[in-house]
Chains A and B, each alone.
Chain A
């Protein structure tokens, strides 16, 4: 909500010309989400500072304007940092209040506008998702000298740790229009959030404001990806509200955790090897009708659906959001209707018996069981082996012994934040043998990924065959 720009380029007060704002006045600019004030806390020949102060009313942003018919507005929460921090609201304000300055034009001082002058931008509260390192990676390649002060969440509760907020000073000899463009793009990138819907025109905006610097920026990919918010959030779903208590945003954390797990396992592209192994076993077992339990975003489904050997493919997951993503990705694959109709997606749970799970040759549960609380596993066993009772069951789960071979996984940490457990080979095999025994199956174990003589393979697979 607060940005100051200071110059020491004499006569410093000419900053007023560049910004089109008179140093002796406090000016107000109405914006759709509040009011912007521009004033100068200091204005001498040696040093001149312009302040852009945003006045955002959170109550109005949640409730909508008084008298407006539609409920709700830009924000969901009354208790919100948006009015106080530098975020996309500030970017919008910059482009509207300093719009001309941003283009690099200035009627009265055209040359000055095109001259690199010593400028200091200060952001009182800048959320930096990714920390100081990321902040520096964004601004230092552009030539800024960065000073950042990190803030505790609450000085009375130091044990709560650091906040995401920094007070940041950016110093550089640079044209004003470039400074404004950098801020315009990089503030929301650091914040990793936008208050408005991301449409096609956002790409155009990014290219316009990134002209001349974005292409060569070493963090280009991250900037683009964050600026465009990856995907619209289709559903800020129910889960959000319910699980809010102690789970932040399910969508983004989910995705982040998945990425983390992938990152951990990446060097050997374990996921691909896992899926290849599953497909091979499916074919060996003649499993033309297959159901993927806990299909997630549909990685296995997309492989199966393209192979016309499979006759019926069903993906089940408990997360509706994951199923929607799976569906989007499958639609994007542009399958022929004949191919597409072999596949269906259903929402279901591994802890409820479900007659829709019957009638398949094989059920796969790829990296699924470790997401169940151990005490709930007994129910899952019955749902799958007693009620659904497919001829073949393929299960994979991490081999915890292998974790020490992952360089970027801290010791003792599980691969994914939602993993409720990870098993050694012995633990998995003991469990699987008991299950097979109890429900009339035979089980075989296969390694997935490179086998280490000491700790085995990163993923372990159990193939259960119903004894007829």
Chain B
């Protein structure tokens, strides 16, 4: 005997103790699908037969079952379930998670059950227990469907039980195997002229099909030569001029496999009317009925029946393309997608309302899309809008054709909108289709939703999956610290589409007197199978991310930022670089002018750009740090060591033997002076914009593109080109491409570094030629820094260069820093890619927040 059960169901086994439920469950379900009350009794009391633990056991069982159903997992309940109240809570549970409750009853004679129990030493209860079970079961059998079970199977003999085969059936709404491409079409409401025009525009051809020959339905079938399929979002009927034509067209496409259709609330109401239900004839239903009434008497009846059957066959919503696309008339919340219940159908037809009534007497719709978090794209209609707008990966394409708007289709996966304007206004809407522009009309729905980020998207332990690296953990300890920085100091999150990753230094060098040397950088990349690298001079300033929009309008349109100028310059922790807004505005204007002069906007088809830069001098941003730490060490070390030398010399002149000490302290005093020389090189006072230097080195992103697909020479060339248009502000970075397979090229790279650092330069950054490189499956460091001998005094202190200190410092581990650099790099690129793909801000923000968290010192969560 074959039992068919829906893939997502709550299977309730019903039977007396000893009726073979557990054996049956073991045979037909995987172990984790089965929740047994005995097992739960054991969990809470160490005794599977401890009846006094039943209450706790069922609480555990319910809890686990709820988690499984929420996750969309079939679950079988192995308990006697012979009492109606036991089953009632299970049916309620299935409903809560929109799963289908299935009952399988084991109606065996009392005797068999009793004998089986006697063979089991742990079941020493009397015959009366089984007798009561069996009595209760038999009393229940007839009422199971009424209790809410959608499938009821009663097995009445041992043989029958043994012969059972279970077939799991996908839900009707599961069309995941349909991969498209699709043309999804919004509410038609009898506007067949526009529909026909739209289909033609989309490339469908009307052909005559044998299907309907001679029947009332004999109208052409629309078919796409390239195999595209149409998806109708319902509300085919009511209000418009050619309602029955619309029905015919859609039905024919559906029956011939050229289209799918989900029902709308108007279609559903018509169906109920045709079924003879008492419905209120309004909102255009009268027009549909009038069209039907004009049919000749002979065809009216059979035609009405066929309409009814067609409408009745429509499934509330569909999951298409492996679940990546969901279509429903009024939308579909994530937790209802792919599920089956009356509530799911209700939502698909009507959406949700807040219970309030607006000024036009219409129910206020609850904006489920504003809170939508699902992975699947949801395309829907139902509520007419002037223009379709993306919101959290959902889009409403009902553009009110019947109200004089237009009929719109969304091409999937292209995400292109195609529409045909209404030939006329067929029906006057109760609420004007084009609302009065409000104060914040300038922002899109997505931008408005993005104004408020949710703390749940950043706080606590979280995992972020990026294209480059999956499942990166952001620890709670780090998020705690990042939240404070983000909230108190960071700029408007709408600007923060990227944060630069930390960069690992090279492995330490063993060259005498040196801690870092380019040889190690080259060797690292060679080891990763890379043959070409680019060496770029490392600037000693402060890292700055600069976003420039072509104008204020572009800033509003693309970033949703108003009244904050044409862009921003921010630091690696997301703070505004400048405390002085005038200086920032000047800098942005200057870069903007250079971009305009260089033809950047046209070349890149963009009106914004995100640049990764270094801003000099170091003292512009780091003045406080310089005063508190660097200069302080400079003056104190020079004073102390000079004085020490002079005292030692005095003592020595008295004849005390201390030549070793004198030499050492002279050397130390000398290093203190070298240290001061080193940091002074990066300091000059900033009176205004003319004292600043900006060196862009990555053209990170422009509209539609993250430029990580270009190599670093391209980035250098673009930056150099730009710098020609403002030579006083913009600094082109010098660089050298090195062929690692060529020893003389390699040597040239080393020589260049030696020259740079001998002149007191900071050193260089060595990057693989390609922006993103994977060695088999692992990411390769996007760059390593190789700093000069003098510069490193600023990092490791004035006296780092003594042989003992170098020896100690060479023991630095790189693995932690390198792993961090890769995670931050992956998150940074992901943030840009999400932004460029117009993802909701929270998805960009979680990456940026993640970088900030990774950079934060962990805080022990002790509260």
Q: Which residues of A are interface residues toward B (Cβ below 8 A)? A: 1-2, 4, 24-26, 37, 39-43, 51, 53, 57-60, 63, 66, 77-81, 83-85, 124-125, 127, 151-154, 156-157, 159-161, 163-165, 167, 235-248, 318-320, 323-324, 327, 345-356, 371, 375-376, 378-379, 382-383, 387, 418
Query: Which of B484, B643, B798 makes the CB contact (< 8 A) with A2?
Result: B643
Shortest distance between the CB of B29 and any CB in chain A (Å): 37
Total A-B pairs, Cβ < 8 A: 240
Q: Contact at B800–A59, with CB atoms within 8 Å?
A: yes
User: With A and B bound together, what is the CA distance between A349 and B623 in angstroms?
Assistant: 29
Q: Which 6 A-B pairs have the closest CB atoms?
A: A238-B481, A238-B857, A41-B650, A238-B856, A349-B487, A352-B455
Q: Contact at A164–B632, with CB atoms within 8 Å?
A: yes
Can you name the residue of chain B whose Cβ is closest to the Cβ of A53?
A: B644
Shortest distance between the CB of B698 and any CB in chain A (Å): 21
Q: What residues of chain A lie closer than 8 Å to B563, measured between beta carbons?
A: 375
Can you name the residue of chain A whose Cβ is closest to the Cβ of B807?
A: A66
Query: Which of A4, A238, A246, A346 makes the CB contact (< 8 A) with B863?
Result: A346
Is B622 in contact with chain A by the CB < 8 A criterion?
yes
Q: What residues of chain A lie closer than 8 Å to B485, measured between beta carbons?
A: 238-239, 242-243
Interface with A: B70-78, B142-150, B320-328, B634-642, which one?
A: B634-642
Q: Report which residue of A26, A63, A79, A353 has the largest number of chain B beta carbons within 10 angstroms of its beta carbon.
A: A79
User: With A and B bound together, what is the CA distance between A243 and B573 in angstroms?
Assistant: 8
User: With A and B bound together, what is the CA distance between A60 and B799 in angstroms?
Assistant: 11
User: With A and B bound together, what is the CA distance between A245 and B541 in angstroms?
Assistant: 12
Shortest distance between the CB of B843 and any CB in chain A (Å): 15
Q: Contact at A165–B639, with CB atoms within 8 Å?
A: yes
Contact indicator per residue, chain B 625-656, by CB within 8 Å of chain A (1) or not (0): 11111111111110111011001101100111
Query: Which of A153, A237, A241, A354 makes the CB contact (< 8 A) with B632?
Result: A153
**Known A59-B797, A78-B797: A154·B635 in contact at CB below 8 Å:** yes
Q: Give 5 CB contacts A-B under 8 Å.
A: A39-B647, A41-B654, A59-B796, A127-B636, A165-B636
Q: Contact at B648–A39, with CB atoms within 8 Å?
A: yes
Q: What residues of chain A lie closer than 8 Å to B808, measured between beta carbons?
A: 59-60, 63, 66
How many residues in B have their beta carbons less than 8 Å from beta carbons of A? 85
Interface with A: B155-163, B345-353, B446-454, which one?
A: B446-454
Is B852 in contact with chain A by the CB < 8 A criterion?
yes
Q: Contact at B805–A84, with CB atoms within 8 Å?
A: no
Shortest distance between the CB of B663 and any CB in chain A (Å): 13
Q: Contact at B488–A318, with CB atoms within 8 Å?
A: yes
Shortest distance between the CB of B848 and any CB in chain A (Å): 14
Shortest distance between the CB of B849 and any CB in chain A (Å): 10
Q: Contact at B636–A125, with CB atoms within 8 Å?
A: yes
Q: What residues of chain B lie closer than 8 Å to A323, measured between beta carbons?
A: 863
Q: Contact at A43–B486, with CB atoms within 8 Å?
A: no
Shortest distance between the CB of B147 and any CB in chain A (Å): 35
Q: Contact at A84–B651, with CB atoms within 8 Å?
A: no
Can you name the residue of chain A whose Cβ is closest to the Cβ of B642?
A: A124
Q: What residues of chain B lie closer than 8 Å to A79, measured between beta carbons?
A: 629-630, 633, 794-798
Q: Interface majority SS on A: helix, strand, loop or mixed? A: mixed
Q: Contact at B634–A352, with CB atoms within 8 Å?
A: no
Is B571 in contact with chain A by the CB < 8 A criterion?
yes
Contact indicator per residue, chain B 720-744, by CB within 8 Å of chain A (1) or not (0): 0000000000000000000000000
Q: Contact at A157–B683, with CB atoms within 8 Å?
A: yes
Q: Contact at B654–A152, with CB atoms within 8 Å?
A: no
Shortest distance between the CB of B385 and any CB in chain A (Å): 23
Q: Contact at B643–A124, with CB atoms within 8 Å?
A: yes
Q: Contact at A320–B626, with CB atoms within 8 Å?
A: no
Q: Contact at B478–A39, with CB atoms within 8 Å?
A: no
User: With A and B bound together, what is the CA distance between A349 and B453 in angstroms?
Assistant: 11
Is B602 in contact with chain A by the CB < 8 A criterion?
no
User: With A and B bound together, what is the CA distance between A129 and B483 in angstroms?
Assistant: 31
Shortest distance between the CB of A40 and any CB in chain B (Å): 6
Query: Which of B624, B800, B811 makes the CB contact (< 8 A) with A248?
Result: B624
Shortest distance between the CB of B450 and any CB in chain A (Å): 11
User: With A and B bound together, what is the CA distance between A349 and B455 in angstroms?
Assistant: 8
Q: Contact at B621–A245, with CB atoms within 8 Å?
A: yes
Is B657 in contact with chain A by the CB < 8 A criterion?
yes
Query: Which of B458, B573, B623, B809 makes the CB contact (< 8 A) with A242?
Result: B573
Is B680 in contact with chain A by the CB < 8 A criterion?
yes
Q: What residues of chain B lie closer than 8 Å to A77, measured between beta carbons?
A: 629
Shortest distance between the CB of A411 and any CB in chain B (Å): 21
Can you name the residue of chain A whose Cβ is closest to the Cβ of B660?
A: A26
**Known A57-B805, A350-B487: A4·B452 in contact at CB below 8 Å:** no
Can you name the residue of chain B whose Cβ is closest to the Cβ of A420?
A: B488
Shortest distance between the CB of B354 and any CB in chain A (Å): 14
Can you name the residue of chain B whose Cβ is closest to the Cβ of A378?
A: B451
Q: Contact at B654–A2, with CB atoms within 8 Å?
A: no
